[in-house]
Amino acid sequence: MILTRFGALAVLAGLAWAADYTEEQLKARFYYDLGPAEIDVSGYPKKERERYSVFSRACSQCHTLARPINSPIVARKDWKRYVERMHLRTKVKAGASISKGDAREIVDFLAYDSQVRKAQGKAAFESKSQELRALFEKVQAERSRRRAEEDKRKARRGSIPGDARPRP
């Protein structure tokens, strides 16, 4: 009985500890997915604010805006390659599209924004990136812990794929 209570307390403590992460955080594929998902562009030139609108609409079709906003990519040529890849992906994804014109606007915005926030504000951007990397390590550890717990539950139920043990 004591072991059962201890086990229940351990499970509750684990759940409380695990609750520190949102489902969105736990789904993050890259550290930069964990950062802010919007930019204050109120101080940007009008054309860049318009491009931000195109970027927001188009890029949020497939992933959070946090990914490109917090990405370490700075160079225009790298953004161009990245956006071209996304443009091609939208051709095979139902309900998503990025026109060639939108792709140009997105590259222009990302190149401008990268120069302002990532190049000119390098120290602040690097500091935030370090925070995100540290958080991502913790999130990955939590995902691993959850996978291990799920594997243990499946093993107890005898439902691990490929498990050839005879069932009672």
* pLDDT tens digits along 15-63: 445 458 998 899 999 999 999 999 999 999 999 999 999 999 999 888 8
- pTM for this prediction: 0.74
Structural domain for 130, as ranges: 18-144
C-alpha 44, offset from chain centre: 25
Q: Is there a domain that residue 90 lies in?
A: yes
Q: Is there a domain that residue 137 lies in?
A: yes
- Token digits for 2? 């004591």
Q: Is there a domain that residue 127 lies in?
A: yes
Of the candidates 60, 34, 61, 39, which has an alpha carbon nearest to the alpha carbon of residue 109?
A: 39
Total of domains in the chain: 1
Q: Please, is 85 exposed, middle or buried when counting C-beta atoms within 10 Å of its C-beta (0-12, 13-18, 19+)?
A: exposed
Q: Is there a domain that residue 31 lies in?
A: yes
CA distances from 123 to 91, 108, 128, 136 (A): 38, 23, 9, 20
pLDDT of residue 164: 58
Of the candidates 59, 64, 63, 65, which has an alpha carbon nearest to the alpha carbon of residue 39?
A: 65
Round to whole Å and give the CA distance between 10 and 152. 15
Q: Is there a domain that residue 70 lies in?
A: yes
Round to whole Å and give the CA distance between 68 and 73. 8
Q: Contact at 8 Å (CB) between 151 and 160? A: yes
Q: Is there a domain that residue 153 lies in?
A: no
Q: Contact at 8 Å (CB) between 98 and 83? A: yes
Q: Contact at 8 Å (CB) between 112 and 44? A: yes
Q: Is there a domain that residue 39 lies in?
A: yes
* pLDDT tens digits along 58-89: 998 888 999 999 999 999 999 999 999 887 77
